[in-house]
Structure 1
Amino acid sequence: MNNFERRRDRFEMFDGMDSPALNLTFTLELPDFRPWCREEGLAPFHVLLCAVLRSTLKVENFRYRVLDGDVLRIDRLRPSFTVTNANNDVNFAQFEWTDDLREFVARGRAAGAAASAMTELNRFYRAMTPRECRDQVFITCIPWLDFTSIQHPTAALDNPDIPSIAWGKFRDAPGGRLQLPFSVQAHHGFVDGFHIHQLAQQIERELTGFMA
C-alpha cells in the first residue's frame, strides 16, 4: 500500500466528488493473435480476457478498491463477463481463476455457455460478500460495434472502485496487427490516464508472451 499512500491526497480529492469515475475510450492496437488462436484451438475472446485480467493485476493502481470507507489492495481476481442468451438479453458469467491459459479458456467457455443458456438473470453475485465483490473487474464485450464511447452503470455514483472494461469489434490493421475500441472506467483516485496507458502496454506483452 506504500504506492497508494503517495497518492492518498489525490484519492481524497477525487473521492469527495459526486462521481470520481474516470472513463476513457481509445483505439487499442495489438498483435493479431487470432491466427495463433485458431492454430491452438483457443477462443480469441477468452485469450484476450485472460490477457486483460492478468494485466490489471500487474498494473498496481488497478488493484485498489474501497470497502467500508477504507482502501484495500486485492491479491486475486474472480473472472466474470457478460454474455447474451437466446432472447438476446444480457447475463453474467463467472468462474474461478487459474494461471494456466488453456484451463482459463476452458473454464471461461463453460461459464459463458451456462450463463447463455439461462433465461433468468444469473444471481451468483447475490451470494458474494462485499469483500468478495472487490475481487472483480467488470468485463463486457460488444463485438458487433466499433464504438467510440460507453457509459457503464455503477451501483453507487460516488463509488466506482471496481474497474469496468469493455471492448468492441476487431478490425485488421497493417503489419500483422489488429485494432479494437477499448474502454476503461475506474476510480480516478486510483487510476490516471497514464495507468490506462500502462494497462494497454501490458495487455500487448501478455498476448506476445502467450504466442512465444
Structure 2
Amino acid sequence: MSWHTKRIKLGACMVGALTAAVLVVSTTPAAAAGTYSGLAYVYGTGEFDGDWGNEGILQRTTHASSNATCLWQMILWADGELDSKSKVDGVFGDGTYNATRAWQQRENVNYGAGLTVDGSVGKGTFAWAQTWLQVVSGGEGAGQTLYLSYNGLYDHFDARRLPDGNYEFVDGDGSWRKAGYDYRTCS
C-alpha cells in the first residue's frame, strides 16, 4: 500500500473520529446521566406524567442561581425542609443543599423513592417530586394550559404548564415565575 493510500485511509479515519466526537459532544447535555435536558425552562408536553423526568441538574455549581432553583426551593418549603418562604430566593447555597439531602433521605425512608442522597436535584429527584404535583384543571393537549398544585407534607403552591410547555409557579412572594434555568427573577 502506497503512502498516498495510507494517508487517504488515515484521513478518512480521522474524519470519522472527529464526526463521532462532535456527535458525542453535541448530545452530551441531553444524554449524560441527568445533567441537563437542554431546554431553557422546566418543560413538559403531552401527557402530564413524566414531564419532570428529563429536567436539568440543580446544585451549588449548576444552575445555582435560577428560577428553576426557586421552583425547587418551593418544593422544599412545601415539604417542610425550608422553614420559611423567605428562604425561597433562587440561590442553591448550603441551606438548599442540606434541605435537598434531607428531602431525598425522607423520601427514601418514607416512600422507598430510591433517590441518591447527594444534595443535587437531577432527573430522578425532579421526577420523584412530580409525584406530589397534582392536576387541578385544564388540558394536556397542545395549546392548552394545565393547572397544577404541588401538595407537600406541610403546605402547597400553585403551578401551571403553559401552552408552549414551559412551567410557571407561584414563588415565595406570591408572584408567578417561569421556571427557567438561565436567569433568576425570584427573590
Q: Could you tell me the TM-score, scaled by structure 1's length?
A: 0.29
Q: Could you tell me the TM-score, scaled by structure 2's length?
A: 0.32
Query: Greater Rg, structure 1 or structure 2?
Result: 2
More strand by share: 1
